[in-house]
Structure formats: structure tokens, C-alpha cells
Amino acid sequence: MFLAWKEIKHSKTRFSLIIGVMVLVSYLVFFLVGLAYGLAQDNRTSVDKWQADGIVLTDESNTNINMSMLNLGAVKDVEAKDIAVLGQAPNVVRKKGTTGDSTKINVTFFGIETDQFIMPKVIEGEAFRKDDEVIADISLKEEDGIELGDTLQLAGSEKEVKVVGFTKDAKFNVAPVLYTTVSTFQDIRFEQVDKTENGRVSALIVRGSNNSLNGITINNDGLKVYPIADYINKIPGYNAQVLTFGLMIGFLVVIAAVVIGIFIYVLTIQKTSIFGVMKAQGISSSYIAKSVVAQTFLLAVIGVGIGLLLTVGTSLVLPAAVPYRTNPVFLAGITAILIIMAILGALFSVRAVVKIDPLKAIG
């Protein structure tokens, strides 16, 4: 370690360039991973908020909640630990008094009951208490300037809703969610309100025992329960998006790691004559090999560490509209991969160092 650090301090410019390359490569990988992960999460955060085990849809809907319509009376056909009704309707809204396409906002309405477990936690304002009031995802405030008390006009109708509260991490299929009463949902989706058992909703959200579908029974052939994980994978566009970005990021990580490994290998081989002189002076091959690995470890840790810090710093100043999310597990895994690949590059070069003939190297 002493020899490795001494050489780094002696050749500051050379090793600064090496560290710079590692910083840029790691920064690129970290940042793209954060963007891909953030975009994927914007498809599902509202579903994750349910903390549910399954979702009951009509069998004909093919897991597409937009195509699922069931009666409120279907609750009697389902046996589960917890059951919550859900009405889902995509729509377009704009702040009352504004005009132009730039003011239009794609949203998803969730019709729910306030006393059921899928009711979101309000972080600003209050929960809705009557029809035509909504709790909105906080992104509407951060990205679109919607404030508490604002009235939103629905596209294609005279319907208006009032924002009374905000919650966080509530997006579905990349659109912010507006939580409201089941009656309001029915009015938005069907232009009628039916509070009897014949009133229609989109799904039933259920919890079983031991965080599974155990204990959930469906007594209706027209209904089917799906595990939440399976349902999320069937959200339109979600699975294709995850696979595409997953492959892209995977190849990027592998290529970046290989480039760093090759870079370290070439750097070490270029010092063949120096190692020959050291061996002629009686310094053992094992000592030189340990110094090479230690030096590579230091360079990798410094370079990848700075790249990681730059990524975290960038995430703090990004506009709210950028779908960036930090996942500590992903960051830790990629950090480990990049450092390990750099060390592997050094280990390959160590084999050449061990075989160096001092006389040939010096000559």
C-alpha cells in the first residue's frame, strides 16, 4: 500500500487522468440507472402504496384494470383479511381559468373509501370529506403549480373537482393520481352515481394472511384474483420498459467495467521496465503484485466514489419533472462491480509482472 500510494503522489497528473476516466464512467452508469429506475417506479408507486397482496378483477379484463368493471355487491363474493374497493379512470384536467394545451395534465382518478386500508397518507392539507374533492399526488404541485384549494376542470365535461390535500409517491402509468370518493369516480367514468350494490367499480384490493394470497377465496366465476406483483408486470408498457432499460443498463455496466479493467491492465503492463528494475533490486514478485492490486483498489475507490458523490449531488438539484430515483441497493451493487472489475484487470496484469525477466525488462 505504501509503494502504491507513493507512486500515485509522485505522478499526480497521470493518475488524476485515470481517476477522471473512472469518475466519468461511473457517473454515467449511476445517473442512467437512477433515471431508468425512476421512470419504472412512476408506473407503479400508487400500487405499491396499497401494501396489498392481490387485486380482484373481472376474468374478461385480462388484468387490464381499464377494462374491468364489477358491481359493489361483488364484495360479498370475496373472502379476505382486508378488502377495499377501487374505481380507476384516466382523464385529463386543467386548472380552472387556464387555457391552452400546455395547461392540460394527464391524471388517473382513484375512487376509494376513506375508511379502507388503501386510503393514502396526506402530507399537506386534509383528506377529502365529500364528493368532488380530491387528494392529489404532490407532483402536481411541484411540476404543474397546482395548490391547495385549486379547482380542476375535467376535459370534455362540466365536471370540476377541488384539491384539498396532497400525498406523495402516488403515480400510476406515469400519471399522477387523484384520490376521490367512489361516487365521484362513478360520475367521472359513467356520468352517473349509483351507491347501491349495482354501482360499478374497477377492482377490489385484497390482503390475505402472511403477506400472501392465502385465505383469499373468490366465490364468483366472473372474478379472478391476481398477485400484486403479477398485476404490476401487466401494467401497459411497464414490463417492456423495465426489460428495455434493464438490458441497456446491464450492457452499459458490463462495458464500463470491462473498459476500466482493460485500462488498468494496460497501465500496469506499461510499467514493465520499472518492475524489472525493482526485481533486479531484490524486491519480490509478490510484493510488487500486492502493490499493483492495492494501487488499483485505491484508484477505483477514489474514482467510483467521486462519481457516486456527483450522482447524489446531481439528484438534489434536478427539476421535479425529471423521473430520477436513487436506489441504494443498485448503487452499492454497481459500485462493487466497477471496483471488482478494476481489480480483476490488475490481477490479469499481475500474471505478466510475475513472469518478468529483470534483464530483458531493463534491456
Q: What is the pLDDT of residues 325-345, one digit of tens each?
A: 888 898 898 899 888 888 887
The mean of the pLDDT values for the chain is 86
Give the C-alpha separation, 164 to 150, whole Å: 8
**Domain extent listing, the chain:** 2-43+239-362, 46-234
Query: Is the model's pLDDT at 182 over the cut of 90?
Result: yes
> Which pLDDT band, with edges at 50, 70 and 90, does 10 fall under?
low
Query: Is the model's pLDDT at 356 over the cut of 70?
Result: no
Give the per-residue pLDDT at 231: 92
> Could you tell me the CA-to-CA distances from 362 to 282, 291, 353 in Å, in that order?
14, 20, 13
Query: Is the model's pLDDT at 3 over the cut of 60?
Result: no
Q: Which one has a higher pLDDT value, 93 or 253? A: 93
Query: Is the model's pLDDT at 44 over the cut of 60?
Result: yes
Q: Which one has a higher pLDDT value, 279 or 162? A: 162
Query: Is the model's pLDDT at 253 over the cut of 70?
Result: yes
Query: Is the model's pLDDT at 123 over the cut of 90?
Result: yes
Query: Is the model's pLDDT at 5 over the cut of 70?
Result: no
> Which pLDDT band, with edges at 50, 70 and 90, does 133 fall under?
very high
| Cell 425529471 belongs to residue | 322
